[in-house]
Structure 1
Amino acid sequence: MENLFSYGLSVFMSFFAIMNPIAITPIFLGLVDGEDEQTKRKIARTASITAFLIVVCFIVAGKYIFEVFDITIPAFKITGGILIFYVGFEMLMSQKSKIHNTNHHSEDSSIAISPLAIPILAGPGTIVTAMNNVTDASFIQIAIVIATFAFMIFLTYIAFAWSDIIVKKVGQNLISVIGKLMGLILAIIGTGMISEGIKLTFP
């Protein structure tokens, strides 16, 4: 039992380090800027559920998914990195992201699925972390990884859902500054992912 607790704690720490709900909240605020509270919660809920389902699929059948579609980790990192850099650059330039659609309902779905669900929440780092945690794992350990990730997704949803309160407490001007900083950080993260993908492709 103690070993399972230690395993669960290590899994939680690895997920928290790669996801960090507190750090990505300003990114969420930047992407849903101008939306009403109900729409923000809807986007947060859709993104959280989608990210959970994606990562669980990779936990259960990740190796088979990569083999069937002939996907490599380097290619996944490079593609995800390009998308993250693109979103971060637009946030840094204070531009309305071109991932938005003129149709309001389509816009909500687009933001929730990409870039929020993937690659921000269920990005290459999260997926690789999840798959590493279940390598040669028992059924109980796989269940622990899924349950731990579900808890992380719940924390992320709470952080997103309370984003309006954060704005009121901190102030719109400071949030705008934080949004630009997060855009810069997001662009840097994207560049890092691209670099890692290139290094893995050409060791």
Structure 2
Amino acid sequence: MHLELLVNALVTILVTIDPPGLAPIFLGLTPGMSRAQRIQVAFRACLISGTILIVFALAGSAILSLFGITLGAFRIAGGMLLFWIAFEMIFEKRQERHEKSAERAVTADHISNIAVFPLAIPLVAGPGAISAIILLSGSFAAPLARMELVGVIVFCIAILFAALVIADRLDRFLGETGRMILTRLLGVILAALAVQFVVDGIASLEI
């Protein structure tokens, strides 16, 4: 059961941050940069987004309590949000939204700060990923279990960093068709996980 929770957390986080989908956007945000500069941007973006997600993993329950929100209610709301993200992935809407965020960053002359915006926020540590982390933190309530969740986040961010470092090769390997197939497949998996979050949330509500 515990291994199942860890696998569920790994899949949920990886799908919401979507390393293969971010690779071509990362290339579009870093034109003309050397490989060393791209690695520096990727490292900074991963460090910032990873820190944000870890903070929500450790303090997510406290944040919910502060606003008087029960975990069951947040599971339902978060599950609905994740389902919408899954819908966007399946019907190619999420990639378009990410590309628009990237275009706004470029036109606003934020090239020197792209590691922060839009890479770290909102492309990696966006509403979907933050909601997923808070939802998952409810299943990792014990201190040791919470550290395991932090470990899963670090592992996922490391995978993201690797994907960004080899973004040019990954983009060539997958191609347009490969990215479409992978994104839709991940979207279906995320949709199923989102429905499970809603079901668990409804079951936990005291009516």
Do they superpose with TM above 0.5?
A: yes
Equivalent residue, structure 2, for 1:72: 70
The DSSP-based 3-state class of the residue aligned with 1:35 is: helix
Contact in 1 for aligned 2:57/2:137 (Cα 8 Å): yes
The DSSP-based 3-state class of the residue aligned with 2:79 is: helix
Residues 1:107 and 2:118 are matched in the alignment: yes
The DSSP-based 3-state class of the residue aligned with 1:119 is: helix
Query: % of aligned pairs identical?
Result: 17
- The residue type equivalent to 1:103 in the other structure is R
- The 3 A distance-change label for structure 1 pair 26 and 113 is closer
Residues 1:17 and 2:7 are matched in the alignment: yes
* CA distance, structure 1, for counterparts of residue 202 and residue 146 of structure 2: 30
Cα offset for 1:127? 0.9
Cα offset for 1:93? 0.7
Superposed CA deviations along residues 51-77 of structure 1, whole A, max 9, x for unmatched, are 11111224xxx3x54433211112111
Aligned residues: 177
Contact in 2 for aligned 1:41/1:160 (Cα 8 Å): no
Q: 18, 24, 35: which is aligned to 1:27?
A: 18
The DSSP-based 3-state class of the residue aligned with 2:18 is: helix
* CA distance, structure 1, for counterparts of residue 16 and residue 170 of structure 2: 9
TM norm structure 1: 0.68
Contact in 2 for aligned 1:88/1:186 (Cα 8 Å): yes
Equivalent residue, structure 2, for 1:194: 198
Provide structure 1 residue ranges, at least 5 long, that are not aligned to the other structure. Answer: 1-9, 135-141
The DSSP-based 3-state class of the residue aligned with 2:138 is: helix
| Farther-moved stretch of structure 1 (71-80 vs 24-33) | 24-33
- The 3 A distance-change label for structure 1 pair 100 and 191 is farther
The DSSP-based 3-state class of the residue aligned with 1:149 is: helix
Equivalent residue, structure 1, for 2:53: 51
* CA distance, structure 1, for counterparts of residue 188 and residue 177 of structure 2: 17
Aligned-pair Cα RMSD in Å: 3.3
Residues 1:158 and 2:168 are matched in the alignment: no
* CA distance, structure 2, for counterparts of residue 192 and residue 89 of structure 1: 15
* CA distance, structure 1, for counterparts of residue 172 and residue 51 of structure 2: 27
- The residue type equivalent to 1:70 in the other structure is G
* CA distance, structure 1, for counterparts of residue 84 and residue 17 of structure 2: 17
- The 3 A distance-change label for structure 1 pair 145 and 199 is closer
- The residue type equivalent to 2:46 in the other structure is A
The DSSP-based 3-state class of the residue aligned with 2:97 is: coil
TM norm structure 2: 0.67
Provide structure 2 residue ranges, at least 5 long, that are not aligned to the other structure. Answer: 31-37, 106-113
